[in-house]
Amino acid sequence: MISNHEIVRMEDRLKLILRGLEEVIKKEEVEEKLRKSEPECYVGYEPSGRVHIGWLVWMLKLRDLQKAGIRIKVLEATIHAWINDKGNLEEIEEYKSNVRSLLNKLGISATYIDSLDMISDPEYVKLLLRSAKNTSLDRLRRSVIILRRRTEEVEQDFSKVLYPLMQAVDAIYLNVDFALGSIDQKPAFMMSRDLALRLGRRPVTILSTPLIPGLKAPLLEDVDAYDDVLAYAKMSSSRPDDAIFLDDDYETIRRKIMTCPCKPRETILNPILSIMKYIILPYYEKLSIDTHEGPVTIDVDNVEMLDTLYREGKIEPDMLKNVCAEYLTEMLDRIRG
């Protein structure tokens, strides 16, 4: 029999895991996997260049998962970064220590795996080939969204077609319960679930985080499909004026925020609101925001409340930008500490 204490604790763990996620596949699997003695989650990242604040979305989610009693595996996707033209292998290797240091400062304890070591394992290669036998070229082409590459770009470099297959296999090879990644990685993770079932392996439960739009992301009416924005308008270090970096100084951060488009009452593809919802709020857990009515200071402790206040016009764009700049600079000072 499950005690009331265990039920409450399970509810708290579920709340930590699910808050702020864009999607979970499948949600009913989460509680079942949490009943294991040591559930595990993996996240993969490409070690490359300067770290922008979009990375903090998955890093802060790792902190939630750790608090919920989940062990963390971090895949340092060195070979993946090389396939994705992020530099030569020597350059890519140098970036790993910076990310490890940042995760340590956020209080995240993790086991680190390098994808170079994985592809040297005959078992991984065997699993990759078996997976290739069980999927189609068309599906791989459709999955290259995770590279932020258009399909025609992939035609000249077949290694990029292998990338989503490798990511699908990574989740199976690591033998974890959960896979954490931004929503644009969903096609690869869905492929992983399908392949796992075909190969008689355990499928991962997908925990998808939202994307932070670039500071110059198009408005929703300017694009034909929301998926196009997911692939091509998320914050990226390859566009320096479109991103806020962890090493930006106060003046640079404030300039970027104050000049960023922030349409009144628009909650979709709003970069400033997204930063508030998915980076600042998870870090502080409660924010004090002055509204234009009164003025009145409101304590905000969840994404839905912040969305509603902005949609109803109780928080205006300039107010939101000022609050975002102040909280973000203070937060980054603490992390860089």
Give yes or no for a contact between 23 and 210, defined as CB atoms under 8 angstroms apart: no
Give the C-alpha distances (Å, rounded to integers) separating 249 from 103, 205, 336: 21, 38, 11
pLDDT digits (tens, 9 = 90+) for 109-127: 999 999 999 999 999 999 9
Looking at the domain 4-209, which fold is it? Rossmann fold (3.40.50)
Give yes or no for a contact between 291 and 314, defined as CB atoms under 8 angstroms apart: yes
pLDDT digits (tens, 9 = 90+) for 276-318: 999 999 999 999 988 766 566 889 999 999 999 999 999 999 9
pLDDT digits (tens, 9 = 90+) for 76-106: 999 999 998 888 888 888 889 889 999 999 9
- Phi and psi, residue 120, nearest 5°: -85, -10
CA distance 256 to 2: 51
**Residue type for position 121:** D
Does the pLDDT of residue 235 top 80, yes or no?
Answer: yes
Give yes or no for a contact between 80 and 169, defined as CB atoms under 8 angstroms apart: no
Q: What is the pTM of this model?
A: 0.91
pLDDT digits (tens, 9 = 90+) for 252-270: 999 999 999 999 999 988 9
Does the pLDDT of residue 74 top 70, yes or no?
Answer: yes
Q: Where in the chain is the domain with CATH 3.40.50.620?
A: 4-209
Does the pLDDT of residue 219 top 60, yes or no?
Answer: no
> From start to end of 245-326, where are the E strands?
287-291, 296-300
**Closest-CA residue to 75 (of 39, 114, 48, 110):** 114
Collapse the DSSP code of 280 into the 3-class scheme (helix H, G, I; strand E, B; otherwise coil) and give the result. Answer: helix
Looking at the domain 220-336, which fold is it? Tyrosyl-Transfer RNA Synthetase (1.10.240)
Q: Where in the chain is the domain with CATH 1.10.240.10?
A: 220-336
Question: What pLDDT, on a 0 to 100 scale, did the predictor assign at position 5?
Answer: 43
Give the C-alpha distances (Å, rounded to integers) separating 208 from 74, 173, 181, 204: 16, 20, 5, 12
Q: What is the phi-psi region of residue 298: left when phi exceeds 0, alpha when psi lies from -120 to 50, beta otherwise?
A: beta
Collapse the DSSP code of 72 into the 3-class scheme (helix H, G, I; strand E, B; otherwise coil) and give the result. Answer: strand
Burial (Cβ within 10 Å: 0-12, 13-18, ≥19) of residue 278 = buried
CA distance 33 to 179: 12
Confidence bin at 3 (pLDDT 50/70/90) = very low
Judged by average pLDDT, the poorest of 75-79, 140-144, 149-153, 316-320 is 149-153
Confidence bin at 134 (pLDDT 50/70/90) = very high
Confidence bin at 7 (pLDDT 50/70/90) = very low
Question: Kind and range of the H or E element at 41?
Answer: strand 40-45
